[in-house]
Structure 1
Amino acid sequence: MLPEWMIDVPDRLSQDWFVLARPAGKRCFVVSMNGTTVSRLRNGSVLHHFPSALPCGARTRENSGSAQSYCILDCIFHEMDQTYYVIDMVCWRGYSLYDCNAEFRFFWLNSKLAESGACEPPSHYHRYRFSSVPVYNCDQNGLLSAYTVQVPYVKDGLLFYNKHAHYQAGNTPLTLVWKDDKCSQYVIDTDSKGEIPSKQQVVLELQGDGKLTTSDDPPIVFGCLDQDFIQKTGLQPGNLLRFLINDGGLTFVNGKLEKADLVYQDKPNRARAFADSYSKVVFQYMARHAPLRINDLLASVDSPINQEDEPCDVEMNVVPTSHNIPILNQEQHGHQESLSMTDKLWG
């Protein structure tokens, strides 16, 4: 379950949402089964293979169980203190929590994780410590606590969870991430040298018909590359391509992206597995020009809220609204060519 970036304050923030301070580190799934524990990154590569105190996570008599007694935890590995911070629970002892709302999953996570002994210091059969993360109701006190209270890890922004949403794979607007320079070291993306580039960089995926898309499901199309340019540069469908947002920036009409002034740069590092999401591109653009500030969030939870609509459990499977396709400009070794336009977001 991957959060979208908060580019607008959601309705009923103080009533329907939790907030937590997100640990800095590597997002991963931790799976314990058959006497071993494995953590995998988003691209599928193994981060660690180790014994743990999670159910069926080590080959000990006390930790034995059936083949169906496995656990899946959604974690962030914090390098500095070698700890897995558990931000969500997908499965516990073979019991799936996919159809449970976030309120129940967080309750189950805190109670079961402590009972398992996984929060104890490392030992021979428990190589890494696990820890839950303080979760607050997103009212004035909770939001300020998540934002200001000291925690044993380096913060990397705030995570917001809709209380009534079920767990779903992929990006979802019912989980949101927000950050500023007070609660994150890296508000604006840095380049390969760790420096903030003078112009924002975006990564899009090239499709077979020349369209450039985000990682959203369904993907959002930013434009189309000219076929002559594709052949000339040897680009292939599925390639991830890096662009700069030029001086023309992003133009929005009635809240929808109308056009973008993009300049083609190169292919990103091969380790990069996914294109940017639409919300990330917009959040990064806002962070440079008109950021959503903590005072905006505090004002929203302090404002009158419509009490008529009763909350209900919802699936985290939302189709994003359509956006007009912007005009792009591309540049390769000083040579510029125009990109074709279409009128629809996706075909």
Structure 2
Amino acid sequence: MKNQRPPPGYYEVPYRRQGRVRRFYGKLMLAGWLGTKPDNFETNWLIKLCPAGKRCLVVAHNNTTTVYNKFGLMKDRFNSVFPGGNENEPNPNAFTVLDCIYVVLLRPSIEVYYFVLDVLAWNCVPFRQVSALTRFEWLHTRFEEVEVIGREQFLIHREFEKPPEEQNDYKFFLIEALDPSELPNLLAEPYSTQLTGINVKLDGILFYEKTSLYKMCFKNPLVGWLKPFMVQQILYPNLDLHLSYSPIIGYSVMEKYIPDTEKTKRQLKKLKKQRRAWMQRQAMQREAMQVEAMQVEEGEN
């Protein structure tokens, strides 16, 4: 079995829990809420429309492609055409690291999609200290070169009669960086038809200052986040918002929504911690009962 070590540059801040070292814990860049409209918003910023899904890190290395969630736990492994991600890779040290959104559709059949947000490394070239504008332009060019995905359609290498080791086992879609001036028109139409033609909901919009770097495990002040129904309040008061982006029940203003959301997250985190502790106690009790039963059985014999 090959030594499944992370690619170079990803050893810092290893996170250990329950005896496991999570090498990819805390590698995703976080975004803060976009509370006000930035200066030179139309000229110095870029936007990306994000589907509802789970953030993950896709690592092509050691001739395989591995998916890690935001906690550093491995979720999947498959072949891909990304450098370092398949057995046919000529360079044994090649690696590619992508920031993605993992989406699973259950109807009419189970389909898995990876929406590529950003790039941390491509074919051994690091991009964490490169501006957002350059990263996004590089991604766009690389996706066109390898023919993984076009801007508005899904393409899988098995459709091009490539050998199995060069195929993508799942469909990847590049989320293009767009000019902010396009946002009003984009939010006037349903998200599922304007990008992919599949039933994927829009979760929110990421805003990148063009010179921003990729800061792992850090809320980058030059990267903002808004839900679709917040855009009208913060950016475009006269926005004609499509009905599919209507505010959730109980939403009034962003200033009230954010504290309520953070409070709910803290409560859920506390409940998960309590549940985990309860399950550990139950496991210890079962183990103690088994030991006691074995001792009683030995005493009877």
Distance in 1 between residues matched to 2:174 and 2:74, nearest whole Å: 22
Q: Map 1:147-296; keep pairs closer than 5 Å.
A: 147-149=187-189, 150-152=194-196, 153-169=200-216, 170-181=218-229, 182=242, 200=260, 202-203=262-263, 241-242=266-267, 267-270=270-273
Instruction: Name the CA shift for 1:51/1:7 in 2 (closer, same or farther; >3 Å).
Output: same
Q: Which amino acid aligns with 1:121?
A: I
Runs of 4+ more than 6 Å apart: none
Distance in 2 between residues matched to 1:114 and 1:171, nearest whole Å: 30
Distance in 2 between residues matched to 1:100 and 1:49, nearest whole Å: 28
Unaligned runs of 5+ in 1: 191-196, 205-239, 244-265, 273-347
Of residues 60, 77, 97 in structure 2, which corresponds to 1:49? Answer: 77
Which SS does the other structure have where 1:131 is aligned?
Answer: strand
Q: CA deviation at 1:103?
A: 0.8
Please tell me whether the aligned partners of residues 136 and 176 of structure 2 are also in contact (alpha carbons under 8 angstroms).
no
Distance in 2 between residues matched to 1:5 and 1:178, nearest whole Å: 6
Q: CA deviation at 1:117?
A: 3.7
Q: What TM-score does the superposition give when structure 1 sets the normalisation length?
A: 0.52
Q: Which amino acid aligns with 1:268?
A: L
Determine which structure has the larger strand proportion and give its number.
1
Structure-2 residue corresponding to 1:66: 92
Q: CA deviation at 1:34?
A: 1.4
Q: Spell out, residue by residue over 1:59-108, the C-alpha distance to the aligned partner (whole angstroms, 9 max, x if none).
A: 12xx33131x2001011012124111111111000001112111110100
Q: CA deviation at 1:203?
A: 4.6
Structure-2 residue corresponding to 1:325: none
Please tell me whether the aligned partners of residues 52 and 118 of structure 1 are also in contact (alpha carbons under 8 angstroms).
no
Which SS does the other structure have where 1:29 is aligned?
Answer: strand
Identity percentage of aligned residues? 26
Distance in 2 between residues matched to 1:86 and 1:179, nearest whole Å: 19
Matched, 1:10 2:10: no
Instruction: Name the CA shift for 1:15/1:184 in 2 (closer, same or farther; >3 Å).
Output: same
Q: Which amino acid aligns with 1:82?
A: V
Distance in 1 between residues matched to 2:133 and 2:266, nearest whole Å: 39
Q: CA deviation at 1:177?
A: 1.1
Instruction: Name the CA shift for 1:83/1:13 in 2 (closer, same or farther; >3 Å).
Output: same
Which SS does the other structure have where 1:39 is aligned?
Answer: strand
Matched, 1:127 2:169: yes
Instruction: Name the CA shift for 1:187/1:2 in 2 (closer, same or farther; >3 Å).
Output: farther
Q: How many residue pairs were aligned? A: 203
Determine which structure has the larger helix proportion and give its number.
2
Which SS does the other structure have where 1:269 is aligned?
Answer: helix
Please tell me whether the aligned partners of residues 156 and 185 of structure 1 are also in contact (alpha carbons under 8 angstroms).
no
Q: CA deviation at 1:242?
A: 2.4
Please tell me whether the aligned partners of residues 18 and 135 of structure 1 are also in contact (alpha carbons under 8 angstroms).
yes
Please tell me whether the aligned partners of residues 98 and 118 of structure 2 are also in contact (alpha carbons under 8 angstroms).
yes
Q: CA deviation at 1:145?
A: 3.8
Q: CA deviation at 1:136?
A: 1.3
Q: Which amino acid aligns with 1:180?
A: P
Q: Spell out, residue by residue over 1:198-248, the C-alpha distance to the aligned partner (whole angstroms, 9 max, x if none).
A: x935359xxxxxxxxxxxxxxxxxxxxxxxxxxxxxxxxxxx9529xxxxx
Instruction: Name the CA shift for 1:270/1:122 in 2 (closer, same or farther; >3 Å).
Output: farther
Please tell me whether the aligned partners of residues 35 and 64 of structure 1 are also in contact (alpha carbons under 8 angstroms).
no
Structure-2 residue corresponding to 1:114: 144
Matched, 1:75 2:119: no
Unaligned runs of 5+ in 2: 1-28, 106-110, 150-154, 159-163, 230-241, 252-256, 276-301
Instruction: Name the CA shift for 1:201/1:133 in 2 (closer, same or farther; >3 Å).
Output: closer
Distance in 1 between residues matched to 2:82 and 2:58, nearest whole Å: 10
Q: CA RMSD in A?
A: 3.1
